[in-house]
Structure 1
Amino acid sequence: MGPRDLWEEALAGMLARPVRSALTTLGTVLGIGTLVITLGIAATAGNQIVGRFDALTATSVIVETPEDRVGWNDVAGLARLNGVESATALAQSEKSSNQSVTANAVIDPTRVSGQTLAVVAAGPDLPRTVKGRILSGRFYDGGHSARRDRVVVLGADAAQMLGITDVRHAPAVFIAGRAYTVLGILGGFQRETSLATAVLIPPALGPEFGLRSVTRVLISTRLGAAELIARQAPLMLDPRGGAGELRVIAPPSPTRAKDGVQEDVNGLFLILGLVSLVVGAVGIANVTLVTVMERINEIGLRRALGAGRRHIAYQFLTESGFIGLIGGIVGACLGIGVVVAVSAVKTWTPVLDLRLALVSPLAGALVGLLAGLYPALRAARMEPVEALR
């Protein structure tokens, strides 16, 4: 039996039962198609996730400083670094984090007017650095700090807890029995959301609460400049040689984040695709085995006419391999179409690996050969007399 004879016999066997052959091919189509779809959607979704990488996280650098190491004036130099949009110093201690704050000095047993809130000394650039917005009134400026005005700005949640919603009439809050005028209410924090429950005071009032030096520096950078600023900021804040004592919290590299997301998503969807491919292979094996059992008379007749065991095995392997090849081609085309359609609906940019589309037909043929191996060997082991009987 030459290659041409083998090809003609395998093709005749497939076309003799076109519906069954089509249903058998459908298993490979679904397996290969699912594999292409899952990997294509994984790559596209991973690219989309990275495209929407949280710019707020990627442009935020935090420097934690030991006590009495960095002064308030040292932070001003950070604005001169290329890539820094704004920088704000904060001062907070364990003692200042548990201050009794009331909205009035009248003791009313019928209502709760006092709260335990954190008092935080912050520079005047805080709203810009934390991407917040003034809900009422205004934020204090350098003049308030220079004059040591007894003013505060409340976080939105702190104001709500104290029952203050409007500052047009200059309400006051009492901290440790001392009155402070409320200049404004700051809300919409996109960074440092814990400050929403804090009472913010100018740096000059910090010593009243034991806040004499900076404990933390918030830096807002341009996209892509965070790593550079993370290296330069400690030297700018403490050029005397103690930069190693400053703890810098910088965002991860967007490239590393992209690779991590891509790897995780691809790994998950690859497993799902392989499971679908195995299910398709099992389907091919089952249908091919049933086909072998139905064609026992044909096998016996061919063996009686002189066909060897290898000829029978080759014929069934060629049929199953050809079915897998067709299924791989159709499945790859179907998978690519689905990926493009989903990307169009979601307005994403489809990401497809050309190698996957080229390898899919070969993978389908390989799956078909592996799935048809056992049925082909079983057909080849049949004796002519038993098959004809």
Structure 2
Amino acid sequence: MSARTGRLRLTDALRVAGVGLRARRLRAALSALGIAIGTAAIVGVLGLSASSQAGLLAEIDRLGTNMLTVEAGQSLGGGPAVLPNAAPAMIDHLAGVEQAADTSVVTTAGVYRNAMIPAANTGGLQVQAASVNLLAVLGTDVGQGKWLDEATAKLPVVVLGSAAAQRLGIDRVDLGARVWLGGTLFDVVGILEPSPLAPEVDNSAIVGYAAAQTYLGHVSVDDGLPETGSPTSIYVRTATGHEAEVQELLARTANPEAPVEVNVSNPSDALTARAAAAGAFDSLFLGLGAVALIVGAVGVANIMIIAVLERRSEIALRRALGATKAQIRTQFLTESILLAIIGGIVGVLTGVVATAIYATSKAWTVVIPAQAWIGGIGCAILIGALAGIVPAIRASRMPPTVALRTVCQALLDVSGHQS
């Protein structure tokens, strides 16, 4: 205690508050639990949101933002448009284009595990013919087996997208693994990793253009002559920094006669939007965390009010020994804040551990924003102060004579029992 001001020093206040909490450990622990749950919710929500955004942005950086997608849109009559067969070659000659690959949906064939599956049970899968450089443009890897080359693109072999393989129940590439496409058995030679920039590939069974024409009847007519089916999507890798200028020319280059029937997009924009929307539900979960903090504050206030009633004799003794009202207020307010800080620290640690475990399981970078743990501890201190201020004032206003009468009565009771 400071002799000159009559105020408790910080170390004395903490020591006295610690004694008060240790005397009622179970009650204090249960009250701090509400603070801990609310703080853990706040830290966990902000941490998981930041970690998921960091993981998604890292994936965008790995895949690059210089890929553009050209797709057939709608014709002026409202029906589906068709890209010219020469569109990929014309785009490949554009200045600023480093590489272009294309796919074509094979509408004449479905994807089935075997010939016994009813035709209507497609499972949402589709057959796509693809150029052999598709994976290099998409930045997608082969999970098992191998990708198509100039030779296998002519044969009845298929590479499955990640989702297609899962739905077909094929988890590895073995000799004899086959799928039924358009009345023909195709050997499965590979399974792809997920393709974030082209999710339609994940739900596809991919064959070569030549195989699609030979075995699946995937043809189109140009000037009266049968040709391989027209491309549905063209994936374009541009030189870094030239995305905008190439994007302006793609529609006119892909279909000079009807550029309005061509859709051009940047898939990384969608991923960036997903990263921005990753925290869309943060406010909901933060609200739940705030409710838990309020419940914790009620618990802290409750324990402090009960403590004031139970410790009237202690208050009276301290007042009789010269403790001022300010010192009594400081004692009980410090107990309340210390209780909230303990709950806040436990909650922050719990939230950090939960975030680290979940983010690691998803292969994300673990990110705990500073505002998460600083805000958690700050909220705990504020709640402790607000919850403890009324009980502290109530304790300081307790008349010493009333409290001493309680002590005297207790002593009389004890002596009466002894006699």
Equivalent runs, 1:338-353 vs 2, <5 Å: 349-353=365-369
1:260 counterpart (267, 272, 277) = 277
How many angstroms apart in 1 are the aligned matches of 2:103 and 2:266? 16
Tell me whether 1:365 sits opposite 2:347 in the alignment: no
| 1:139 partnered with 2:153 | yes
Whether 2:90 is the aligned partner of 1:77: answer: yes
- The total of aligned residue pairs comes to 346
1:290 CA drift (Å): 2.3
Asked if the contact 1:63–1:247 (Cα under 8 Å) also holds between the matched residues in 2, the reply is yes
The 3 A distance-change label for structure 1 pair 61 and 313 is same
Q: Distance in 2 between matches of 1:70 and 1:259?
A: 33
Q: CA deviation at 1:90?
A: 3.9
Partner amino acid, structure 2, of 1:88: D
Matched, 1:201 2:213: yes
* 2:71 aligned residue: 63
Equivalent residues in 2 for 1:20-169, closer than 5 Å: 20=23, 24=28, 26-27=32-33, 28=35, 31-32=38-39, 35-52=42-59, 59=67, 61-65=69-73, 66=75, 70-81=83-94, 82-88=96-102, 90=104, 97=107, 133-134=147-148, 138-140=152-154, 160=180, 164-165=184-185
Q: Secondary structure at the match of 1:88?
A: strand
Deviation, 1:219, is 1.6
Structure 2: segments with no counterpart, 5+ residues: 161-167, 169-177, 407-419
1:354 maps to 370
Residue 124 and residue 41 in structure 1: after superposition, are their counterparts in 2 closer, same or farther (change >3 A)? closer
Task: Give the Cα–Cα distance (whole angstroms) in 2 for the partners of residues 16 and 194 of structure 1.
Answer: 64
Distance 1:20 1:349, change over 3 A: farther
Q: Does 1:321 align with 2:328?
A: no
Instruction: Note the C-alpha offset of 1:342.
Output: 7.2
Contact 1:155 1:200 in 2 (8 A): no
Tell me how far 1:281 sits from its aligned partner.
2.8
How far, CA to CA, are the matches of 1:339 and 1:312 in structure 2?
Answer: 41
Structure-2 change in CA distance of 1:78 and 1:275 (3 Å): same
Q: Report what 1:173 is aligned to.
A: none
Residue 14 of structure 1 aligns with which residue? 17
Question: Structure 2 counterpart of 1:40, which letter?
Answer: G
Contact 2:128–2:205 (Cα < 8 Å) also in 1: no
- 1:170 — aligned with what? none
Q: In the alignment, which of 274, 278, 303 is matched to residue 287 of structure 1? A: 303
- The Cα of 1:223 is off from its aligned counterpart by 10
TM-score using structure 2 length? 0.58
Identity score, percent: 24
* C-alpha separation in 1, matches of 2:359 and 2:126: 49
CA deviations on 1:175-202 (whole Å, 9 max, x unpaired) are: xxxxxxxxx9887576446663998228
- Paired residue type of 1:160: W
Match of 1:235 among 247, 252, 255: 252
Per the TM alignment, residue 72 of structure 1 is displaced from its structure 2 partner at its CA by 1.9
CA 1:87 to 1:5, structure 2 compared with 1: closer, same or farther past 3 Å? closer
Superposed CA offset, 1:229-250 (max 9, x none): 544321322346x423323354
Unpaired stretches in structure 1, ≥5 consecutive residues = 101-110, 141-150, 167-183
